[in-house]
Amino acid sequence: MKILFISIMAGLLSLFGGDLHLFSVPNANGKYNASVVEKALEANGFVISGNSEMNEPFMKQFQQSDFTAFNLLTVFHKKYAASLVKAHPDGGIFVPMGVGIYQRKGDKELHVSVLSAQAQKKIAGFDAPEFALIEKEILATLNKTLPKAKHTFSETSLPAQGPLLSRFVRPSDALSWKNDKEEVEMMIENGLKPAGFVMSNFTDFQSELSANGAESPFDFYDTYSICKLKVIYTVAKTRPEAAAFAPCTLMVYKKKDADEMVMGFPGVYNWMSSSRVEDADAKSVLMQAQKDFEQVLKSATE
């Protein structure tokens, strides 16, 4: 009954709010942190791909941080993520999905941000029941773990200034895909570092899709969690809730019955739209990141 109530409330709130679920919980004593949220999600059907603490790299690169806590969790639901990707391959842009956890200096509350199911549908360009199922599970976990938290939605999103899903295709067939995969992996990894990107983790999702003897519809399915420290640091100055988009998930897959390899990621236009990023410096670093990331993938498809 409680989960049903949470789902109904989430649906009602989404009619009037934006794309991000926001939780704010009293935390003057530091009781709540990213590890608490991580353990709760892990105990409730989610796989934790990564828990990236950002304050140390902020201090190392910029000698300053506005936060006492800033973590980027990347997670996926073990059951529903596999079901989503098998039915809708491009759903891998949310495998894993981001959970932003942050507390500003002087703020007595810890904040958590996560994308709504409605926003995920909008970004992916299709509807799927798994979006709502995953949302229900993550909201139930957060409400149970942060019982005194206030749950709201972000402000209504701004009009998108570009494609929400950046997608690239490279020809590949049953005879060449293994060599193509190795070449693409090398080009992506070699292209990221010079542009200032960091791969925070890699997920061989094929192993999840074929777990317990299940048949995967793919020859391979990989996802990369990619971030650029300057982007996260600059955007967080004015819109820390955008942490729900970081790290960015890059999907790379080939279906068994297809003669092509697909690569794609949620574009930075989501950050600017859903998180209402209007600061000039933040928009500038985001657009440069989009340009650089696109160039890496274009090189891998040529």
Containing structural domain, residue 127: 2-301
Tally of domains within the chain: 1
Res 16: pLDDT: 54
Res 292: pLDDT: 95
Return the biggest CA–CA distance within the chain: 59
Q: Are strands 67-77 and 97-104 parallel, antiparallel or unpaired?
A: antiparallel
Res 301: pLDDT: 85
Q: Report the chain's C-alpha Rg in angstroms.
A: 19
92 exposed, middle or buried (CB, 10 Å; 0-12, 13-18, 19+)? buried
Res 84: pLDDT: 98
pLDDT digit string (tens) for 79-127? 999 999 999 999 999 999 999 999 999 999 999 999 999 999 999 999 9
The CATH number of the domain holding residue 253 is: 3.30.310.70
Contact 48, 74 (CB under 8 A): yes
- Residue ranges of the chain with per-residue pLDDT less than 50: 1-15
Res 5: pLDDT: 45
Res 17: pLDDT: 76
Res 300: pLDDT: 87
Rounded distance between C-alpha atoms, residue 216 and residue 121, angstroms: 23
Token pair for 113: 């941000």
pTM of the model: 0.92
